[in-house]
Chain A
């Protein structure tokens, strides 16, 4: 609940829109109830008046006004419904936009440390869905509840004007159907809701594993067995969903039955009042019709309560991430950074958490400005981790890293980031045009600068053959460009950013021989006069560097000469 309240507070700037939406819904619902109620009263009054009139024509009865009112209600209901839909959608879009930028702002200090691991892509994917699910908080939770409360209250008050007894009965029935039943079924459904989430995660993990290993599985003739196992998990999911579905069907049916029962009871009470002559025949019909219509306010609540559990979980997951503590603590008074400077690493040891094994042990490394080094070692030795520490994704548990002689702890991390350009085996491309992807490196870049960057990166031939040139849309995660082209885009970014230190993390991994050579040649020119730190297990890259270090469990040591280094690859 806490989590939901938190998000409701976040909606505050849009209270006007939210309130307008609810107000319009309320007006529309009341108009709808009134239309039926007033019509019932009008018809009955007419019947009675018609009966009493001697010649069958009741002149005395003022039929003009109620008839006009009925028409007015019909119009109000139509316009109200339209306005309500427009306003609630507007409000929902606004609120979602707010949550998105709030979440993004929360995530900025958490990146990259908390987002660097493998699962984070999936995590972010599900978080996006969670944020979308929060639209239910307003549309399907708050709005129906408030409308049921206000609308129900008004109708009960209206009934009380004619009969307090009857109003008490209706009030009780509303409480049972709007509060107690939803509450009970929310309780009953909680286990099932959690279970289905767990099972869905299990299904997803199994499915991804099968897909990643499908070639192997079919070669081993094991695919059928794994498929069967997955379908079994699917059956488990379906079983849980079935019982969840039955529960919700039961709650709807029960609500319906109770509301209908209330109508019968109200009919009996109203008939008794009529026979006592405390109300007229027309009022009798009107009251019965009112009770019949009022439960329309309550019907959405049982599904709202089922949404509640889901929305709560979404809200909690979003907050769990947003409340993470940043791994990097910014200094209060950061020191000025000297652009042309080297990096020195002293006695550095690092592990990802207190429980996990040490990844880096007592590393010492001097990287003077303008030097070019490579770090080699078997996979899992911590090469990429070392690069991430140099970029200050994390702080080491022991030892220190200094830039221009100043400890990282005393530098502002955004200023530090400006010192680095990165080229890695995975280029992060955005779903926009090539040009926009390049401009991320330098938003102020002129067209001439971009043209030069493209040339330097060897992209010009590729871009020339595209009908839309630089304005070509490259698809999600750059799915419309090849690995080599993506790498060249990243290279052009490196050139545009023009940072003093270039970090290369397996820069040619996954490229074919010819492309690898091309990229390395381009890189050599771009990296002239810059500091280069490269992590690689491919021989080809070593021509860029003057020194090679080998990273092992025991620590980091320089390899005596490059030929020896080369032998480590064969």
Chain B
């Protein structure tokens, strides 16, 4: 048992590693277009570091002159002045470093949002159905935002860490090579340190991040199920469970963190020891008690300079370990983003895409569609003439929606050919030929006018008004204070089912395309509303090829032909 458990664990661990690797690779790709901006941000940080070196040198010089050489302050006025200039420059650096960092983040965010939005447009409808729109929407907002700090702070800091300590060592070597050795030994060479910090701090942060995320997911799950819990009389019991689970989470996470924090403690230890060692070494040198190395004859100025540099030497590294959280957050967010970006796009059939001579508006030749093992449409052949009115019937689940998706080019048939006006069905073809209204009538939080035009600015006010009249939208909108400018949808004026359907019909009609598909336009409507709506449909789509999916006898009655899919 334990071995199988371990191997299972090992596998999920390997999978996680693999996934993380994939996420990091993707993040690297996103970095490419902004590399120069990241470099500039890092450069600002490096300049700041160099300014710190100059500032330390100035301090050391001034203190040497004051304490040892017993100079008057007035003599040093120029140095004080230089010090203030260094400070101004450092403040400027400290201002521009986050400002430049933001520029990096904003560019990346923009590009990721575009990538995601383009992807959304090409996703297979079946994937979209599986995912809740709230979760998908989180990718463009929360998850895209979660990448900010990784690009604006973490990546530049990574460059700073690999440059600044080397500059400091280079400066210190000619002044006091023993101190330079102390730096090099206490920070057992930066790469080694990096690995230490990298493993420790990164895993600490990742664990903490994951634990937090899991805990809040658990909590959210129970909050959303509170009604159910209450119905089963389990709410009070769950309160105790939540406490227990929180505690278990805390204990387990802390067990991991206690170890993980050790690595940053090591970093802390070396930096503290370096300061202490430098202080004691140069101090004893100044006392004349050390007869080794450059300590002999060392001046106060040199001693103070290296002392001031000691903590700064470790600062970039410490900062990086603080920012490790950003990386964990970014990898976590990338996982969500990639789940969307890695989805298959709808395959566009290229072969024989053009000119099948046909007299039919719609023609299906031996079309089959399978989902996994399920056979939804089996070898269906169908011809629809121009101007024909067709009712598509059959119980739900027989493939009406799938057939529509095939006609619209949102999905490709497993076998057979779908032709629209003699061309292969595709999304491009759809845009030229088919207007469509889905089963769930979709209203946006916008004005009625915008809901009809769908923001198409090429449509004139006159056209919209006319169509609104024809579709019977004006019948009710005239009683609204703002008429067609009334905001409807989620937070706007509440429309009834029939009123929504008329807007949808107007939207379909205004496209002025030769084929119209309507999916259950009369569902949930009462008799009177239904009759009125069907009259509108008759009027609007008189000369147009029309397919209505419906099992409503009132609808079927008005059509030329019935196609039963069962």
Contact = CB atoms under 8 A, between A and B. Distances in A.
Contact of A570 (B80, B91, B511, B553): B553
Q: Is the interface of B mostly helix, strand, loop or mixed?
A: helix
B10 interface: no
Contacts of B541: none
A346 interface: no
Contacts of A271: 66, 73
B341 interface: no
B174 interface: no
Contacts of B181: none
A200 B238 CA distance: 33
A220 B110 contact: no
A44 B95 contact: no
A122 interface: yes
Given A89-B208, A111-B230, A46 B287 contact: yes
A288 B63 contact: yes
Nearest to B279: A39
Given A205-B490, A271-B66, A284-B66, A108 B239 contact: yes
Interface stretch (A123-131, A176-184, A337-345): A123-131
B387 interface: no
Nearest to B517: A219
Interface in B60-104: 62-63, 66-68, 72-73, 80, 83-84, 87-88, 90-92, 94-99, 102
Interface in B224-239: 224-239
B410 interface: yes
A37 B224 CA distance: 55
Interface stretch (B190-198, B431-439, B461-469, B476-484): B431-439
Interface string A378-390: 1110000000000
Interface stretch (A143-151, A239-247, A311-319): A239-247
Contacts of B357: none
Contact of A219 (B62, B94, B137, B436): B436
A124 B246 contact: no
B117 A63 contact: no
A238 to B, nearest CB: 5
Interface residues of A, number: 143
A115 B286 contact: no
A78 B303 CA distance: 24
B121 interface: yes
A422 B228 CA distance: 9
Interface in A211-247: 211-227, 229-231, 234-235, 238, 241-242, 245-246
B254 interface: yes
Contacts of B120: 210-211, 214
A145 to B, nearest CB: 19
Interface in A444-480: 476-477
B490 A100 contact: no
Contact of A204 (B63, B137, B253, B311): B137
Interface in A314-331: none
Contacts of B489: 209
B67 A53 contact: no
Contact of B98 (A47, A93, A249): A249
B394 to A, nearest CB: 10
B454 A252 contact: no
A365 interface: no
Nearest to A417: B231
B366 interface: no
A94 B221 CA distance: 20
B434 A417 contact: no
Contacts of B102: 241-242, 245
Interface stretch (A68-76, A394-402, A558-566): A68-76
Contacts of B273: 74
B218 interface: yes
Interface string A64-101: 00110011011101110110011001100110110011
A422 B221 CA distance: 19
A36 B59 CA distance: 14
A219 B106 contact: no
Contact of B497 (A67, A208, A234, A379): A379
Interface in B376-398: 395-397
Given A57-B288, A253-B91, A428 B227 contact: yes
Contact of A108 (B113, B230, B396, B438): B230
Contacts of B524: 378-380, 537
Interface in A238-291: 238, 241-242, 245-246, 248-250, 252-254, 256-257, 260-261, 264, 267-268, 271-272, 274-275, 281-282, 284-285, 288
A304 B526 CA distance: 59
A254 B287 contact: no
B268 A81 contact: yes
Q: Taking chain A's interface residues, is the majority helix, strand, or loop, or is none over half, making it mixed? A: helix
B283 A42 contact: yes
A162 interface: no
Interface stretch (B22-30, B128-136, B162-170): B128-136
A521 interface: no
23 contacts: A39-B275, A39-B283, A40-B307, A44-B304, A48-B67, A55-B288, A67-B283, A82-B268, A93-B246, A104-B219, A207-B137, A219-B436, A222-B456, A227-B117, A227-B118, A231-B110, A249-B99, A250-B95, A254-B91, A257-B91, A379-B497, A477-B221, A512-B397
Given A231-B113, A443-B234, A214 B128 contact: yes
The 4 A-B residue pairs with the shortest CB-CB distance in the complex, in nearest-first order = A97-B246, A39-B279, A281-B67, A74-B272
B185 interface: no
Interface stretch (B35-43, B257-265, B414-422): B257-265
A115 B227 contact: yes
Contact of A256 (B94, B110, B228): B94
Interface in A477-495: 477, 493
Nearest to B434: A219
A116 interface: yes
A43 interface: yes
Given A93-B249, A250-B95, A264-B87, A570 B231 contact: no
A493 B279 CA distance: 72
B396 A86 contact: no
B66 A93 contact: no
A253 B526 contact: no
B362 interface: no
B257 A234 contact: no
Interface in B499-543: 507, 511, 524-526
A57 B258 CA distance: 47
Contact of B507 (A220, A227, A493): A220
A328 B5 CA distance: 49
B141 interface: yes
A246 B208 CA distance: 30
A70 B276 contact: yes
B286 A97 contact: no
B98 A129 contact: no
Contacts of A71: 276, 280
A104 B287 contact: no
B117 to A, nearest CB: 5
Interface string A101-115: 100110110011001
A207 B280 CA distance: 62
A264 B80 contact: yes
A115 B67 contact: no
Nearest to B272: A74
A111 B227 contact: yes
Contacts of B84: 261, 264
Interface in A117-172: 121-122, 124-125, 127-129, 131-132
Contacts of B18: none
A411 to B, nearest CB: 14
User: Which of B84, B109, B246: most chain A Cβ within 10 A?
Assistant: B246
Contacts of B15: none
A19 interface: no
A58 B287 CA distance: 5
A267 B63 CA distance: 9
A80 to B, nearest CB: 9
